Amino acid sequence: MSFATVLETTRQSTIEAARKQPEFAVFASISVFAGDTSACFEIKPDGGVVMGDAAFARADIDKFHLWRALEQAWLLRAGCNPGRAALAAARAAAVFCAGEALPAADLPGWAGIMGAELAPGIAALARVAAALDVTADPADFAQIQKLWSMLGTAGALMETGGDIRLALDPRSALNGYGSSHRPRPWAVTFASSTASSSSERGYAAADAARLRATAALLAEGARPAVAALLAEIRAALANTYGLAPGGAVVLAASGTDTELLALAVTHLARPALPILNVLIAPEETGSGVPMAARGLHFAVDTALGHDVARAAPIAGFRPDTELANVPLRDAAGAVRPAAVVAAEVEAVVTAGVASGRRVILHVLDLSKTGLLAPDFATIRRLRAAHGHKFDIVVDACQARLSPASLQRYLALDATVLITGSKFFTGPPFAGAALIPPAVAARLRQSALPAGLDAYFGRDEFPADCPAAAALPPVGNYGLALRWHAALAEMAAFFRIPPAERAAILTGFSAVVGDEIAKNPALTPLPAPPIRRAETDEAWERCQTIFGFALAAPGQDRDLTPEEARAVYRWLNADLSGALPGLPPAGRAVAARICHIGQPVKLSRPGGGAAGILRVSAGARLISGEPSHRDFPSAARIAREFADLRIVFAKIRLILENFAALQAADPQPRYR
């Protein structure tokens, strides 16, 4: 075999190895070959790519050149202007190499220009075009400048359009939830009660949406491209959940943003009255919910990038809104009887209506620890007693319910808040409000509070929505991509028969119960049955969130919330370096990356608070990853349950080595 043949075979193997990385899946239809050309790459008339000598000239950057070639080929196939396509592909490749932490010294000089956060000047873009041997004119450069923040990889773009919680820690390459918008298939993930890293399926769907949008962006500009993606999401959600004609789907960056939206929609009710917002166990929803429920900023920045003062009033919201909190647990952390909670809810709503306030009753379906309250019969009684003198908002942000259950809420003219980023395991920060026709009619009158323009774009709302006319015209692109990832997960989940869903969740419950029972350091958090209509699907009555306290090693107490958070972090880290004395089996467990739900602070009998860790079954457990498609169903589930047991084995190992880990404090990493 000649040297040239060996070299070409080696290069082809390099290409194929790179294409196995999940981020390259979107380009699967484009053929790529190593060929005899001195150029970095050539795009053939049939759309295929030939990678040449220059692509392999320096170590470790073959993926950079491959990405640029594939992206440019895809955009040309979509009919894009060649100059704009080449520059957009160069920008995306530069962003990709930053995410991969490829050595900057080995990259071409223009990569730093194209990977910069701020758009370069026309002269700099012209120099890049010359270096790429690309023909482009000033209009092309101006368009690239205008679209700069919207060009890149799906992973980078999905980090935008949220608040500070989405920011990546440069040390870990993970966000505030300990997750990534890029696939992380090596991690064991049972974190759907909080947030999950993108799956291979979800990332591919987001990247396909990104490429379609990029082609439209280059041709038409920002608004039409993003508006089309957002409209697709609203239509898909309305269809999935059976929203009646005249209803509305409004997209929001997060579940907390949907809370702010629900309050804004109540502001549109007539007559205008002071508002009483009745929250159910806000400590078991989101930390920002009580602030959003009063029309206050709930973070230090907003989804559209405005810097704000946390807890400061948002312009246009009534300053006299009051809150009433109905707890679901007593002072010792025990679940209060459902009848007691229902009676308290009825009393608070009735008193609020009688006092001349516009009441918003929040229904919790489900909480961070899997609680549902008040029950449907209570809501129905209140609607019958008070008519439309009060609003019902259902916090179903965990999304652990069937379309039929959600429709029952809509039939009571309740606004239902959901996310694609909890049970459905889409990337964090993908919220939506499903608004029934009677309430959606308000969006066709008056105007939303002015300060909402820091959180929402016009195109997150339906087209026939005059109330949103003053919002910024360009929609939230990062939100659009995150929701497209979530929609792929939803579609995969709903393709699985309901009986199979229930069987898998029942098996999950059995494994969790067995593992907790085997470890005397773990105390399960009791969870009452999820009470739904008997006609609902069995899977949505299954427990899917399992909380447990951890005994402090050598002490007669539970781990505090701060100590439990440390365990949560260490699970998401490779501990093998911090525990060098472990036997091989122990080192293997220590090295596994395990991501579970963030700890919840809970009062404990005798006083004090414990940090409750959570493992959760998400939709991905049921639908599987595309990379698992070759596994028979039973084998795939057995593998998932084996991973679940690894989580508990690592928790045991952490508790056995708690002091050593406190001293070393190993940190989570993307890889």
Residue 670 scores a pLDDT above 50? yes
- Crossing angle of the two packed helices 200-220 and 477-494, in degrees rounded to 10: 140
What mean pLDDT do residues 536-556 have? 94
Cα 542 from chain centre: 23
Q: Is 476 helix (H, G, I), strand (E, B) or coil?
A: coil
Do 558 and 435 share a domain, yes or no?
no
**Mean pLDDT for the stretch of residues 267-293:** 93
Question: Three-class SS of residue 597?
Answer: strand
Write out the E strands in 32-104: 32-34, 41-43, 49-51
Average pLDDT over residues 157-168: 92
Q: 236 pLDDT exceeds 90?
A: yes
Rounded to 5 degrees, what are φ and ψ at 594?
A: -130, 120
- Lowest-confidence segment of 274-278, 281-285, 590-594, 637-641 by average pLDDT: 281-285
On whether the CB atoms of residues 511 and 442 are closer than 8 A, the answer is no
**C-beta of residue 366 within 8 angstroms of C-beta of residue 372:** yes
For residue 429, the model assigns a pLDDT of: 95
Give CA–CA dist 151/205, Å, rounded: 17
179 neighbors 578 (Cβ within 8 angstroms): no
Q: Left if phi > 0, otherwise alpha if psi is -120 to 50, otherwise beta: which for 607?
A: left
* Same-domain pairing of 300 and 404: yes
Phi–psi pair at 245, nearest 5 degrees: -55, 140
CB atoms within 10 A of CB 533: 11
Yes or no: say if 165 and 569 are a contact pair by the CB < 8 Å rule.
Answer: no
Query: In the numeric block, which tokens belong to residue 330?
Result: 């007593």
**Neighbour tally for 297: CB within 10 Å:** 24
- Is residue 374 reached through a cis peptide bond, with omega within 30 degrees of 0 on the bond before it? yes
Query: Which stretches does DSSP call E strand in 559-652?
Result: 594-603, 609-616
**What local confidence, expressed as pLDDT, does residue 594 receive?**
98
Tens digits of residue pLDDT in 93-113: 999 988 888 887 788 989 999
Q: What's the confidence (pLDDT) of residue 637?
A: 95
Whether residue 217 lies inside any domain: the answer is no
Asked whether the CA dihedral 22, 23, 28, 31 is positive or negative, the reply is negative
Decide if pLDDT at 346 tops 80.
Answer: yes
The reply to whether 515 and 433 lie within a common domain is no
In three-state secondary structure terms, 45 is coil
Both 369 and 509 in a single domain? Answer: no
| Residue after which a domain boundary falls, among 111, 131, 152 | 152
Sign of CA dihedral 558, 562, 566, 567: positive
pLDDT at 87: 97
- What is the structure's pLDDT at 668? 96
Cβ–Cβ under 8 Å, residues 232 and 239: no
Higher pLDDT, 285 or 491: 491
What pLDDT digit, counting tens, does each position of 163-203 carry? Answer: 888 989 989 999 999 999 999 999 999 999 999 999 999 99
- The number of residues making up the chain comes to 671
Are residues 30 and 120 part of one domain?
yes
Going from the C-alpha of 357 to that of each of 211, 217, 501, 534, the distances in angstroms are 49, 47, 43, 35
The alpha helices in 373-453, defined as continuous H runs, are 376-386, 403-411, 437-440
pLDDT interval class at 3 (50, 70, 90): very low
Average the pLDDT over 477-497 and give the result.
Answer: 97
Q: Running DSSP on this structure, what letter comes out for residue 182?
A: S
Whether residue 406 sits in one domain with residue 262: yes
Look at residues 95, 130, 152 and tell me which one is the last residue of a structural domain: 152
Last residue of a domain, one of 441, 467, 484: 441
- Per the listing, tokens 């089996």 go with 585
- Within this chain, do residues 414 and 299 fall inside the same structural domain, yes or no? yes
Q: Flag whether pLDDT at 355 surpasses 70.
A: yes
Per-residue pLDDT reduced to its tens digit, 241-265: 999 999 999 999 999 999 999 999 9
Write out the residue range of the structural domain in which residue 62 sits. 3-152
CATH number of the domain within which 341 lies: 3.40.640.10
Q: Are 486 and 208 in contact (CB under 8 A)?
A: no
Strand partners, 325: 279
* Residue 499 pLDDT: 94
Residues 428 and 505 in one domain: no
Which residue shows structure tokens 């459902």? Answer: 338
pLDDT value of position 315: 97
Q: Looking at the structure, tell me whether residues 432 and 561 fall in a common domain.
A: no
What is the pLDDT, as a whole number, of residue 649? 98
CB 219 within 8 A of CB 127: no
**Beta carbons of 594 and 650 less than 8 angstroms apart:** yes
pLDDT tens by residue, 365-419: 999 999 999 999 999 999 999 999 999 999 999 999 999 999 999 999 999 999 9
Q: Is residue 223 part of a domain?
A: no
447 within some domain: no
- Tens digits of residue pLDDT in 37-73: 778 999 999 999 999 888 887 766 788 999 999 999 9
SS3 assignment, position 200 = helix
Q: Would 195 be classed as within a structural domain?
A: no
Q: Evaluate whether residue 194 is within a structural domain.
A: no
Q: Is residue 307 part of a domain?
A: yes
Question: In which band, very low, low, confident or very high, does the pLDDT at 7 lie, cut at 50, 70 and 90?
Answer: low
Is residue 334 over pLDDT 70? yes
Q: Give the SS3 label for residue 391.
A: strand
pLDDT of residue 6: 55
pLDDT in the model for residue 233 = 98
pLDDT at 2: 52
Does residue 280 sit in the same domain as residue 413?
Answer: yes
Place 223 in a pLDDT band, splitting at 50, 70 and 90: confident
CB 159 within 8 A of CB 152: no
In the chain, what is the straight-line distance between the N-terminal and C-terminal CA atoms, in Å? 38
469 pLDDT more than 60: yes
Residues 35 and 115 in one domain: yes
pLDDT band for 35, please (50, 70, 90 cuts).
confident
pLDDT in tens, 590-611: 999 999 999 999 988 777 899 9
- The number of folded domains in the chain is 3
The mean of the pLDDT values for the chain is: 93
| Residue 82, in any domain of the structure | yes
Mean pLDDT of 460-474: 93
Q: Are residues 528 and 591 in the same domain?
A: yes
Q: Is the pLDDT of residue 4 over 60?
A: no
Tell whether 144 is covered by a domain: yes
